[in-house]
Structure formats: C-alpha cells, structure tokens
Amino acid sequence: MTTDIVASMKEGPMQPVQILAVTICVIINMLDGFDVLVMAFTAPSVAAEWSLDPQSVGILLSAGLFGMAAGSLFIAPLADRLGRRNNLLICLSIISVGMFASAFTNSVTTLAAARVVAGLGIGGALASLTTITAEYSSYKRQGFAISMVQSGYPVGATIGGTIAAFLIVAYGWRSVFLFGSVCTLAMIPLVLRYLPESLEYLIERKPEGALTKVNNLLQRLGQAPVAALPASRQQRTGAQGSSVLDLFAAPLRTSTLLLWCAFFMVMLSFYFVLSWTPTLLTDAGLRAEQGISGGVLMNIGGVIGGATLGYMTARFSAHRLTALYMVLCAAFMIVFGLLDGGLGSMLVVGFVVGYFIFGSIIGVYSIAPDIYGTAVRNTGMGWAIGIGRFGAIIGPSAAGFLLARGWTGAECFLVFCIPMLIAMAAILLLKAQQNRPLHVSIESPELS
C-alpha cells in the first residue's frame, strides 16, 4: 500500500534528508519574504527618482500581490503534474527573471509588469514549499516544520530590509532587485543537488524512473528498498486528479469552501495589520521611527507566535489551537484599537497582535495539506492561497477607503477583527467536517 511506504517515513523520527528538505524550504521562503517586500523597501527611492504620486506607488506595491494571486491559482497546480521539485525550480527561475528585469526598468508600467512576473513565481512557489514540507515531515513534527517554513517569511523580510537599506545608500535602489535576483538564482543548484522529489508524488504519479528514485530515497531514509511501487489512487479509481474541479468532488466540496473562507478572511486582516500599523501609530501621535518600530515588533511577535503554535501542534489539535489564536487575535486587535496613546502599551499590544495573527495564518497553512490527497494537494494549496491573496489585496485597500472617509484607526481595527472571528468559525467547521465518518478507502484525501 502507498500508505505503508509513506507511513514508515512519517511515523518515525525526522531523518537528515527530511530535515534538509525542510531547511531548504525555510531558506527559500526567507528569500520570498525579501522578494515580496522589496518594492516596499525601494518605493521611496523609486518615487523620488521618477517623481511619482501616491497612486503610482500604490500600483507598484499591488503589482506583486496580483502576480502572487495568479501564480497560486495557475502555476502552483502544475506541481501535481510536473512534480513539486520541478515546479519549484520553474518558480525560482521566474522570480529571478522578474527581479532582474525590475532592476532595468524606467517607468511605472515596466516596473509593475516585472513585479507581476516575480509575483507569479512567488505565488507558485509558496504552495510547493508548504506541500514539500508537509510531505517530508513526520506526523509529529509536521505542524512545527510548516510553522518554521512560514516563519521564514517575516525573518527574510526583516533581514532583507536591513540589507536593502545598506544597498540603497551604497548603490541605489536597482541594486536591491539585482541582489534578490542573484540570491534566488543561487537557490536553483541547491534545490537540484539537495532537495529530492516528494516520495508521495513519486508513488502517486510514477514519473519516469520513479522506482529507482523511490528506492534511493528509502535508502537515505534508512529503509529497505521495494521491488515494485504500489498502485496509486489514480490507478485504482481511474481519476485523473490535479484539476481544480477535483477540489469540489463530493468528499471535498465543503472542506474546500471552508478552507478558502479561512484563508481569505485571515489574509484580509493580516495584510491590513501589517500594511497600516506603522502609519496608524504615527497618526496616533508617535514619531515615524516609533511607528516603524511597532511594525518590526509585530513581525518579531509573529515569528515567536508561529513557532510556538507549530511546537504545540505536536500535542494539541491544530484546528483548536488555530481557532484559539484567531479569537485571541481579534480580542487584542480590539484592545490595540482602543489604546489611547502611550508608546510602551502600544508596542506591547502590537507585539501580542503580531504573535497571534502570524500564528493564525501559519495555523491555516498547517491544516491545509492534510485536507487533500497527493494527486491534488498542490492544486488545493495553490487555490486556497490564491483565494487568500485576494483578501490580501482587498484588506489594505479597504482600510485606505475607510480612512479616506474619516474613519479612525481604532474603528478600522474594530472592523478588521471581524474577519478573524469568521475565519475561526470556518476552521472549527472544517474540523467538524473532517471528523464526519466517511465510507472511503485509506487513500481518501479527507483522511488526515
């Protein structure tokens, strides 16, 4: 049985090849964190050089997010046909090209187009990183491993911001894009050399040379080779898989919709908080550098919150932990919105909000892979993340719309805690849905 081979890997302790695969995914996601926010780092310099108005800057900041949404929807699903590793190599190439092109643009239109290209690669890579991590982690450490990969994003953004500040002063804003391009390109030989294809993918899809690759992997995992690969779910059922329509097959329909709801709502609030907190702190009377410090503390809180949640998923239900993080995030968003000045209290509560909101989104990422079977896992992840990206685009824009019409920052925080509560309800309903008894085989995507 397919599950016997996979379970023998996932039920034991993490082996060096598994740890290395997760580590590579962490590094790539750190680079993605830099690549996503590189426009935010360089925007002031670009605006000054090209004499841009705020609307043009907004277009540049949004272009990458639109590309990420499209990449999640249309490039990520290719991994279920081409392989997780091959898809990741394609995405790294696309990101590197987009970043390199960004360094040589001379107008808003060409820079926005280059940012869309880079966003396509980033969006396609994020789903594969989560899928590879889930498929190479042990059952006990899966939540922690995924949280480490997702925590790489804010870590990369924080380190990248420091590097970008130096490069802009020393060499100008174009050097920041070149740096990102070179670092991303350097990951390709690392992936080729050290990141094996997913064991589950090789067994399910059986590409050319699959048996040899599986036995090589089993040897590295300290397990006995097999004489032949077991029949995949696709072979037994005749299903084609890897189509978005498969996400709406009878056993998956409700779970897919609940997952999409959770991703959309949590990203709606997540990107509002990350995008507007420094500005709203400044508007509340803090100095500009204090507002930036608030944003940095939120990211630091997020790294700790995500790691803590991942550690606890080995002992407690990931669904219930994530739901708890979401309701506590909503509560502290209300507290943050009601604070009446005071640097210390704002920074402390901002740290706590970051702790719970990053933990919430990492929790959703941790839950998602177990909903889908191998044949459609990357498709399911890609579409869930893609739907969430629309929330990421709408959240900051909606907040700007409200603020332009006289709403206060406190009122915005009160409003944006509501999506967190909706996401919490979706996660709990998803848990109930997955607990329903199903008369299906052990390969059913509904069984986790």
Share above pLDDT 90 across residues of the chain, in percent, rounded to a whole number: 42
- 437 burial type by CB count under 10 A (0-12 exposed, 13-18 middle, 19+ buried): exposed
Mean pLDDT of all residues in 123-131: 91
Contacts for 316 with CB less than 8 Å, ≥ 6 apart: none
Return the pLDDT at 300: 84
Q: Which range (168-182, 296-310, 370-384) has the least confidence?
A: 296-310
- Number of residues assigned to the chain: 448
Q: At residue 186, what are phi and psi to the nearest 5 degrees?
A: -65, -20
pLDDT band at 241 (very low <50, low <70, confident <90, very high): low
Return the pLDDT at 238: 45
Q: Say what the pTM is.
A: 0.81
pLDDT band at 441 (very low <50, low <70, confident <90, very high): very low
Instruction: Report how far residue 27's alpha carbon sits from residue 25's, in angstroms, rounded to the nearest whole number.
Output: 5
| Residue 378 three-state SS | helix
Q: Indicate left, alpha or beta for 222 from its phi (over 0: left) and psi (-120 to 50: alpha).
A: left
Return the pLDDT at 248: 87
* Strands in 291-387 per DSSP E: none
Among 361, 386, 401, CA closest to 65: 386
- Is the pLDDT score of 62 beyond 50? yes
Instruction: Report how far residue 32's alpha carbon sits from residue 145's, in angstroms, rounded to the nearest whole number.
Output: 17
- Is the pLDDT score of 180 beyond 90? yes
Instruction: Report how far residue 412's alpha carbon sits from residue 125's, in angstroms, rounded to the nearest whole number.
Output: 32
Structure tokens given for 309: 């949640």
Q: What is the DSSP string of 19-80?
A: HHHHHHHHHHHHHHHHHHHHHHHHHHHHHHHHT--HHHHHHHHHHHHHHHHHHHHHTGGGHH
Do 386 and 69 form a contact (C-beta atoms < 8 A)?
yes
Which domains does the chain show, CATH number per domain? 1-223 (1.20.1250.20), 241-436 (1.20.1250.20)
Place of tokens 């540049």: 60
pLDDT band at 9 (very low <50, low <70, confident <90, very high): confident
The type of residue at 409 is: G
* Mean pLDDT, all residues of the chain: 86
Annotate 96-119 with b (16+ C-beta within 10 A) or e (fewer).
bbbbbbbbebeebeebbbbbbbbb
Structure tokens given for 324: 């708890």
pLDDT band at 233 (very low <50, low <70, confident <90, very high): low
Rg (CA), the chain: 22
CA-based torsion, 245, 247, 249, 253: positive or negative? negative
Higher pLDDT, 71 or 241: 71
Q: How many Cα atoms occupy the beta-carbon half-sphere of 91 within 13 Å?
A: 36
The type of residue at 210 is: A
Structure tokens given for 373: 């079977």
Contacts for 349 with CB less than 8 Å, ≥ 6 apart: 332, 335, 336, 339
Helix (H) or strand (E) holding 192: helix 174-194
Among 124, 61, 116, 69, CA closest to 92: 124
- Is the pLDDT score of 418 beyond 80? yes
Mean pLDDT of all residues in 313-337: 92
